Structure 1
């Protein structure tokens, strides 16, 4: 399916947020409706690999929104490089932005999607790295029907800034939709004990979830660099599309 791309700026309680929108070509005039996906990036924001991932999802018949996750902390349009300076800035931003601000970002995107007559009420969430955490975070909103979370960082540790009782994992019981958790066994950012903690919490909260662990590195979905695993990436795109088509 051919797609088109545009940029929009949404108003949030913490300032304007640039959002990249990908959707089937001429979706607004095609006489059809499409489900939507909120797609969350790594700490580097919308790099070329993230843009390609979003385009791939859109080409399967989804309206995909990619928010600038650190819009409060950078000029609009900022993309951080895959180098030490970019990593340091991204991690600094990650430790600065409160989790509650992502909640209001999500609501702004959900409200925007409701304004589009060609978008169905079914909305999913997907993300990689911190984006995996944010896709899990989005699932706390009952409007999110399914979430696909890839190697979610800082979920097991409950260490990202937030108010008391607002840690993401501790609120797992709020999840009403279906959840998919994907991990790389060789990922240094999430230990086996950390993965076990997430699994136990989801089980105790009676969340409907699926669980995959692969012999893979962190960022195995990123189609740049030596950690990329094309076969696993393709498998996970297929699984994600199947999940979102069942919303």
Structure 2
């Protein structure tokens, strides 16, 4: 399926948020996926992942997750300087601002003639957490979270009652949680704690997968990339999104 890509600049309460839109180059309405990057914003691997999802029949929106803290168009490098800046931005941004970012994208979608009205979310690393955060929006029917960082901590600044896991009972759509067993950022004991919390929430609709992969095994750049495991991850995500949105 051929796709087209464009840039839209959306107004949010915390400033203009550049958003990259990748969608099928065809007539008719399609479902959409809010796709959240790592701390580095839309790098080459994130753009390729977004375009891959779009080629399966989705309009994929990639927001600049730290738009308040960087010039428009900022892409951080996969190096120490980029990592330090991205982590600083993660700690600096008010977690509630992600909710208003999500509303801005949903309102944009609602105004598009090509949007079917069916919405999902997905993301890698901090983006896995932000996809989980997006699942709090009632329009989001299915969410794929890949090695979501900081769900098991209180490191992301928030007010009491605003941390994402404190609001998990508000999620009505289906969740897909995928973790790497060799990921030091979410160690096994912390994954087990999260799993137990999920298992004790009545009515929470989720599946849970742990694979033999390191952190960032979906990123098709660098030595931690595992193409075979990434393929499994994409299959699981496309199965979830297809069932819920198509």
TM tier relative to shorter chain: over 0.9
5+ residue gaps, structure 2:
none
Give the secondary-structure state (helix, strand or coil) at the position aligned to 2:68: coil
CA–CA distance in structure 2, aligned partners of residues 20 and 132 of structure 1: 18
Q: Does 1:123 align with 2:119?
A: yes
Residue among 206, 209, 213 paired with 2:206: 209
| Stretches (4+) displaced over 3 A | none
CA–CA distance in structure 2, aligned partners of residues 185 and 94 of structure 1: 24
Deviations 1:171-198 (A, max 9, x none): 1101100000000011000011211121
Contact 1:158 1:168 survives alignment (8 Å)? no
Q: Which moved more, 1:133-142 or 1:62-71?
A: 133-142
1:84 corresponds to: 80
2:150 corresponds to: 154
1:18-167 aligned within 5 A:
18-25=18-25, 27=26, 30=27, 32-167=28-163
- Give the superposition deviation at 1:158: 2.4
- Give the superposition deviation at 1:33: 1.0
Residue among 230, 242, 245 paired with 1:245: 242
Q: Aligned pairs, how many?
A: 243
Deviations 1:4-60 (A, max 9, x none): 0000000000000000000001x4xx1x11000000000000000000000000000
2:185 corresponds to: 189
TM-score of the aligned structures, taking structure 2 as reference length: 0.97
Contact 1:135 1:147 survives alignment (8 Å)? yes
CA–CA distance in structure 2, aligned partners of residues 122 and 203 of structure 1: 27
Give the secondary-structure state (helix, strand or coil) at the position aligned to 1:38: strand
CA–CA distance in structure 2, aligned partners of residues 158 and 55 of structure 1: 32
